[in-house]
């Protein structure tokens, strides 16, 4: 205990360089833990986006691309599925439920999803959590819409407001379906998934707003009269993708093989969990690179501590000599230097943890808004504690180098006046 007090006083006398060293270690520790937390919780956030869905069916493309545009609303489909094919597949006895998805339009930068009320019944996220309504109810008539929590919050919408859907998925569109406004009937509770950023309408509504369109081009004869639309004729011709739940997990691969070999048109069925694993496998190299970079940053911080202690040894030769003269044994000098290194590493680690939580508090809403990734501010995990322990052990190990040098300093060498 006396050695610790002496080490603290010694560091206080060199507080300027000691504080810089602590700050360097803190930055490296916060970066190391921050990268690890973002990496792991980004995976969890992606994995929690969809739950309880056995298969996702879409046009033949890469599994990751199909997962991204159908679930995460990232990118666009290479092709659509015909409604006839969708009905043929979902009529299989092994299919318990299915939810059609139609993408392609937007509202002020938010994707518009055409579906039916089964979406609110069967779509699950997280640990099999169903969608809940914060306000209102599902759409029941043609021009009604249900919006996600973020859409309502960012655009300040409430139940009963009217919105205009634009053609295309971009944030800016010059073609708007302004002759057919939608009334908001429901606002979903927050899910921290792409659902929060989605405007939901019926498949019939998607067909209605595109009546008279030809190959993505608006009608040349003017807008369609809304009053003349017969809802019974608004049967969709194509959809973008479909979510499917099975009566038995054993039959998942059977239906997947049947879809992948479907002769009427090229289709593909993917298992969400497998596609997610493939996505993270593709990003594995980037993850490893981030971890390695963080490790090098930590190493540079610890090397800075070593440089500071070694640089101060020549200035402290007289101090070491006086300690030896008053009875300090070489082992005590060794422990003094080790203690200083340990205190610097511990102080840097603690400051790094505080910096990490401060940065998370600032970045959390930004990451959730911009990327849909929820980073929770929670206690350190076992693995994060292990990383901290590794940093502290490395700090003590690095402290051995100046400790050995101080240990070898003799009383005569310390008292010699160098000219």
* pLDDT tens figures, 181-229: 899 999 999 888 899 999 999 998 888 887 765 555 555 555 555 555 6
| Residue 24 near residue 348 (C-beta atoms within 8 A) | yes
DSSP symbols for 86-98: HHHHHTSTTEEEE
pLDDT of residue 122: 94
Phi, then psi, of 31 in degrees rounded to 5: -65, -45
Q: How far, in Å, are 3, 117, 330 from residue 326 at the CA level?
A: 14, 85, 12
Task: Write down the pLDDT at residue 222.
Answer: 54
Sorted by sequence, the CB contacts under 8 Å of residue 54 that are 6+ apart come out as 244, 245, 246, 249, 252, 271
Closest CA to 371 of 38, 104, 30, 34: 38
In the chain, what are the domain boundaries? Answer: 2-46+284-415, 55-270
pLDDT of residue 419: 47
3 state SS of 269: strand
The pLDDT of residue 289: 81
Q: Mapping DSSP to helix (H, G, I), strand (E, B) and coil, where does residue 101 land? A: strand
The Cα–Cα gap between 324 and 326 comes to 6
Among 3, 33, 58, residue whose Cα is nearest residue 352: 33
Question: For every residue of 114-177, which 3-state class applies, written as one string?
Answer: EECCHHHHHCEECCCEECCEEEECCCCCCCEEEECHHHHHHHCCCCCCEECCEECCCCCCCCEC
**Bridging pattern class, strands 162-163 and 238-239:** unpaired
Residue segments in the chain with a per-residue pLDDT below the cut of 70 = 168-174, 212-233, 314-315, 317, 321, 324, 368-374, 407-419
| pTM exceeding the 0.85 threshold for the entire prediction | no
The per-residue pLDDT for 173 is 54
Which 3 state secondary structure label does DSSP give 223?
coil
* Other CB atoms within 10 Å distance of the CB of residue 6: 17
In the three-class reduction of DSSP (H, G, I as helix; E, B as strand; rest coil), residue 235 is classed as coil
């Amino acid at each position: 205990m006396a050695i610790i007090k002496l080490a603290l006083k010694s560091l206080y006398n060199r507080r300027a360089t000691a504080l810089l060293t602590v700050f360097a270690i803190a930055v490296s520790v916060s970066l190391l833990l921050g990268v690890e937390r973002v990496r792991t919780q980004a995976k969890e956030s992606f994995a929690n986006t969809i739950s309880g869905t056995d298969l996702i069916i879409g046009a033949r493309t890469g599994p990751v691309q199909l997962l991204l545009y159908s679930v995460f609303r990232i990118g666009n489909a290479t092709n659509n599925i015909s409604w006839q094919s969708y009905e043929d597949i979902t009529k299989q006895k092994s299919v318990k439920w299915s939810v059609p998805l139609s993408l392609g339009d937007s509202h002020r930068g938010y994707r518009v999803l055409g579906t039916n009320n089964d979406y609110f019944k069967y779509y699950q996220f997280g640990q099999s959590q169903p969608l809940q309504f914060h306000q209102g109810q599902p759409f029941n008539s043609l021009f009604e819409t249900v919006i996600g929590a973020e859409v309502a919050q960012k655009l300040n919408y409430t139940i009963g407001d009217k919105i205009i859907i634009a053609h295309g998925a971009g944030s800016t569109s010059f073609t708007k379906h302004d002759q057919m406004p939608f009334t908001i009937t429901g606002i979903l509770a927050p899910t921290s998934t792409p659902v929060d950023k989605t405007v939901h309408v019926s498949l019939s509504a998607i067909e209605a707003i595109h009546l008279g369109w030809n190959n993505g081009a608006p009608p040349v004869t003017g807008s369609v009269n809304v009053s003349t639309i017969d809802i019974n004729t608004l049967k969709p011709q194509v959809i973008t993708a479909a979510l499917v739940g099975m009566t038995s997990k054993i039959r998942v691969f059977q239906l997947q093989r049947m879809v992948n070999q479907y002769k009427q048109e090229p289709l593909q069925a993917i298992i969400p969990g497998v596609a997610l694993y493939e996505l993270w496998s593709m990003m594995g190299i980037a993850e490893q690179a981030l971890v390695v970079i963080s490790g090098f940053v930590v190493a540079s911080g610890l090397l800075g501590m070593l440089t500071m202690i070694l640089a101060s040894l020549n200035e402290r030769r007289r101090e070491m000599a006086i300690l030896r003269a008053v009875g300090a044994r070489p082992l005590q000098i060794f422990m003094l230097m080790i203690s200083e290194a340990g205190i610097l590493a511990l102080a840097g680690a603690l400051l790094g943890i505080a910096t990490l939580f401060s940065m998370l508090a600032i970045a959390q809403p930004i990451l959730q808004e911009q990327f849909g990734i929820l980073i929770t501010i929670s206690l350190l995990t076992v693995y994060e504690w292990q990383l901290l322990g590794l940093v502290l052990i490395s700090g003590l190990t690095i402290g051995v180098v100046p400790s050995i040098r101080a240990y070898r300093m003799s009383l005569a060498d310390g008292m010699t006046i160098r000219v």
